[in-house]
Amino acid sequence: MNASTEAVATSAQSRRKSLIAVILSCFGVGIAFGLGYPLTAMALEARGEPSWIIGLAGAAPSLAILVLLPILPHAVARIQPATAIILGCVCCAVAYASLYFIDNTVAWIALRFLMGATIALPWIVGETWVNHIAGDSHRARVISFYAVSFFSGFALGPMLLEYFGATGPLAFAIGAIGALLAALPIFLARDLAPDLAHEPATGLIGGMRLAPAAMAGGFLGGFLETSHFSLLPNVAIAGGMEEGAALRLLTALIVGGIVTQYTLGWLADRTSRKVLLAALGLIYAALIAIFPFVLGTPGFALALIFIMGTTVIGLYMLGLAMLGQEVEPSQLATANAAFILMYTSGSIVGPALTGAAMSNGPIVGFVGMTGAAALILASVIVFSRSRAA
C-alpha cells in the first residue's frame, strides 16, 4: 500500500469512526428526549396539577427550540461541534437531576424550557455533522442509521418509565444518564468532528429557500408524527378498541418505522429522493383512508399501522437526506436549523389542528386532517424547485 492509498484508507476509517460516534450519541439523545414528555406529564399529574399546566410544561421544550433556532447556527459557527454537543448533553443531564429535587411547578416549566434549549445543540449539530461527512451515494442509508438510533432511544424512554415509574429517583436518573451517554462517544471522537465553523450567509427564512422540498417533508413529518403519538390511541378507542390494543398501535408505528428505515434509505440512494419523499405523503394518505375499515380487526390494524410507520417516520429521514444533497456545506447548519424549525412547527400545528378536527368525530376528523395534510404537502414537494435527483 503506497502513501496515497494509505492516506485514503485512513481518511475513510476516520469518517466511519466519526459517523459511528454521532449515531451512537443520537441514541442517548433519543432516550433523554423521549423520556422527558411522559415523565413530566405523569409527575405533574401525580401532584394534582391541572391539564393546562401539564400541557404548558409539555410545550416548553418545543417553545425553547423555536426561540433559540435563529441564533443556533451562529453559535455552531463559533463553538467546536464536539464541545457544543457535550455542553448541551451535560446541561440536559443536570436539568434532569434538578427536576427530582425541585418541588415547584413554575421551576419545572423553566427547567423543561432549559432542557429543550440544551437538547437543541446535540440535535442540530449532530444532524449537521452526519450530513457534512456522509457521501451523497450513501447519504440516505447513513441517515437511516441515525434515524433508527434516535427513534430507538425515543421508544425506549417511555418503556423504561413504565418499568421504573415516574415518582422515584430512577426515572430522573435514567434521563440524566441518557443525556450523559450521548456525550460519551462524542468526547471519545472529538478529534474526528468535521469543521462546521462557517458563518451563516443567510437567516432561517433564507435557509428554508435552500431546500423547499426537504422543508415541506420536515413539516409533514412533524405534523404526522406528533399527531399520531398524541392522538392515535384516542382514535382507536373511539373505534371500539380496548386501551391496551390501542396503545400497541403506537408501538407498531414506531417499530414499523425503525425496521424499514434502512430499506427506505437504500431506495432513496438509488432513485429520486424528491419523488420518493412526495410518494411517502401519497402512500400515507392512501393508508390512513383505509384505517377506519380495519379498526374492528386489531390484527389488520396493527399490520396497517406498522406499514404506515415507514411513511410517518421516513419523512424526516428522507427530508434530512435531501437537505444534505441540496445545500452547500457552508450553509448546512443554517439549513438544518430551518429544517428543525419546520419539523417543530409541524409538531405543534399537527396535534392542534387534528385535535380540533376530531371534536365532531374522532375517526373522521383524524383521518381527514392528517390525510389532507399529507396530500397538500406532497403537492408542495412535487411542485417545489429542487436540484435534487
- Compute the average pLDDT of residues 20-24: 92
DSSP assignment of 166-198, as one string? SSSHHHHHHHHHHHHHHHHHHHHTGGG------
| pLDDT surpasses 60 at 201 | no
Give the residue extent of every domain in the chain.
12-192, 204-383
Burial of residue 173, with CB atoms counted within 10 A of its CB: 0-12 exposed, 13-18 middle, 19 or more buried = middle
Question: What are 362-369's contacts with CB under 8 Å, separation 24+?
Answer: 362/234, 362/235, 362/238, 362/239, 363/235, 363/238, 363/239, 363/292, 363/295, 364/292, 366/227, 366/231, 366/232, 366/235, 367/288, 367/289, 367/291, 367/292, 369/227
Tell me the CATH class for 204-383: mainly alpha
Segment 320-346 mean pLDDT: 84
pLDDT band at residue 4 under the 50/70/90 scheme: very low
* pLDDT tops 50 at residue 32: yes
The residue-averaged pLDDT of 77-105 equals 89
Candidates 123, 13, 5, 103; CA nearest to 62 is 123
Residue 14 binned pLDDT confidence (cut-offs 50, 70, 90): confident
User: Residue 5: pLDDT band by 50, 70, 90 thresholds?
Assistant: very low
Statement: residue 10 has pLDDT above 70: no
Q: What is the pLDDT of residue 372?
A: 95
Q: Which CATH architecture has domain 12-192?
A: Up-down Bundle (1.20)
Residue with the bigger pLDDT between 46 and 110: it is 110
User: Residue 17: what residue type?
Assistant: K
pLDDT at 42 over 80: no
Question: Which pLDDT score is estimated for 197?
Answer: 65
Per-residue pLDDT reduced to its tens digit, 227-243: 888 788 888 888 888 87
Query: What is the tens place of the pLDDT at every residue in 132-146?
Result: 888 778 888 998 998
The pLDDT, as a whole number, for residue 7 is 38
How many other C-beta atoms can be found within 10 angstroms of the C-beta atom of residue 299?
9
